[in-house]
A and B are shown apart, each in its own frame.
Chain A
């Protein structure tokens, strides 16, 4: 009864700390062009995007990005004010309706145009948190401490996460190529040091989803979505156990994370990777973030979609049979999405 739906193509920009001189549309257009060329599809049954107007400081900034897609004759289109991984979820649900075969999903962000930490403060609840002005890194550091004190992790364990991510990122032509973390860096916000914090980057990414035979037609080895789920924890940071990610645990369980070979985790801080590994029950036999992850390119509003794309690419190139893409949104891993994909034959 459930339709088979797969990721059939994935394209991303070379993420940069600052995309000088390009508008969001100019940044996005080559990605859309490339994914159309790669799939040979010019018109999609559904189009859905993820972005954040506060990054550009302009209401309905996402509407302008439609110029990159080509919206005439009129297309069926939607937008989420979140990471584009949630746009992919919407497109997936739309494809389940059984009357269209393809969907285009894209996300983009140019955080370099403003003070990203202050932009993120605006997403906090307006009564108890936003008026105090806490920034994203200060809040993440609270979670890092809570996790370290419960799990016994040390600052060296965090640095090891950064070192591994950066080493992997240097092998990824789309990521930033960062030096190994220096052990003597001062705290940014204790217990986090600058290398514990993902570098925000400008960029864009796109994915094409297709259903059934259309997927087999567009892609030699489609990455079939066998489970996808997203969950949210309480917004109030003091109302949940910050040392764990219960929403990731539930989403992972319902999406069928058990047995994946590769996991791309949307960890924007080193300790988040430790929390996510624990929540998803990933053992040492699972390859985590072979792309370098968000720690080497945190393209805001696209980094979660990139995780799904990178994971799918391991199916496309035949190096893995079952993979997991994870996306996160909100303060301290508040919302989490888990997408499990498998190659053929399906098991």
Chain B
């Protein structure tokens, strides 16, 4: 189709049509914000109404029935790139929509929210979806008095925010001081001699205070892990891997992100090293270690990590 036509077929000002008593009644009710159907002699309710029963051509009755506003999607098509004539300029669905109380469906646009041009159909969109009309504020007795339909409300999003000034306690404070200098510090337990990192000031196994500081290297072993499919602002992408990492020399695992390797290739026993952020970004926070990345060393046999799962 040429972008600059050399011939145009147009009815300036539009084509005037009389609508008759049946379609006229429907459109008048639309203007007043009501969805109405007409009953056939056979008892079915037609929406949108026609003067005749589509099954047998018999005239419809004078009985009008208010239907909706809740409706059910009976079939749909998803338009990733709307055309000039379409009612929405961003991806939307065309749907056959049957109002509650009606036996037939009307065609209309279904707005599924904001989607990028070319986007695929959203997961919530399915046959059976319950929808309601979005009425235009200014209506004139026209099928477009319904701007579009929208899904029923099934979810809300409530912002939540409380503010704190957390004090980490002496042991964690000392640990974060180490982290802010690029060091990973732990405590050795005087009873079991395990190194506890991050240290808590006491040994969770023996219940005795700990004070002897030990610096650990940034290398360790993945003991177990989980693949996460829900986005997290700290993770590089979805899916991402969170893992227990047993630092070399430690007697206790640390929860950390593992990256730099496809999620489906992470394994128990894999050797990893802490990936630190650039020094100028460091603060008193574990975020200084962005995540752990694989190193080129043989995996640790299961027997050696089986007690750290």
Contact = CB atoms under 8 A, between A and B. Distances in A.
Given A127-B23, A127-B143, A133 B85 contact: yes
A298 interface: no
Interface string A253-285: 000000000000000000000000000000000
B86 interface: yes
Contacts of B5: 114
A25 interface: no
Nearest to A112: B1
Nearest to B79: A189
A149 B19 contact: no
A12 interface: no
B142 A131 contact: yes
Interface in B118-153: 118, 120-121, 127, 142-144
Interface stretch (A28-36, A136-144, A303-311, A338-346): A136-144
Contacts of A134: 86, 94, 107
B85 A186 contact: no
Contact of B107 (A126, A128, A140, A240): A128
A145 B76 contact: yes
A127 B118 contact: no
A237 B76 CA distance: 12
B40 to A, nearest CB: 10
Contacts of A58: 9
B83 A187 contact: no
Nearest to B57: A234
A22 interface: no
Interface stretch (A43-51, A115-123, A209-217, A219-227): A115-123
B104 interface: yes
A153 to B, nearest CB: 14
Interface in B97-123: 97-98, 104-109, 118, 120-121
A2 B289 CA distance: 91
A131 B143 CA distance: 7
B78 interface: yes
A65 interface: no
A133 B96 contact: no
Interface of A: 54, 57-58, 114-115, 117-118, 121, 126-129, 131-135, 138-146, 149, 186-187, 189-192, 234-240, 242
24 contacts: A57-B7, A57-B9, A118-B83, A118-B84, A118-B85, A121-B85, A127-B23, A128-B106, A129-B107, A134-B86, A139-B107, A141-B77, A141-B78, A142-B107, A145-B76, A146-B75, A186-B118, A187-B120, A189-B78, A190-B77, A236-B104, A237-B96, A238-B98, A240-B54
Given A114-B5, A238-B107, A242-B96, 6 more contacts: A57-B8, A128-B48, A141-B78, A149-B75, A190-B77, A237-B96
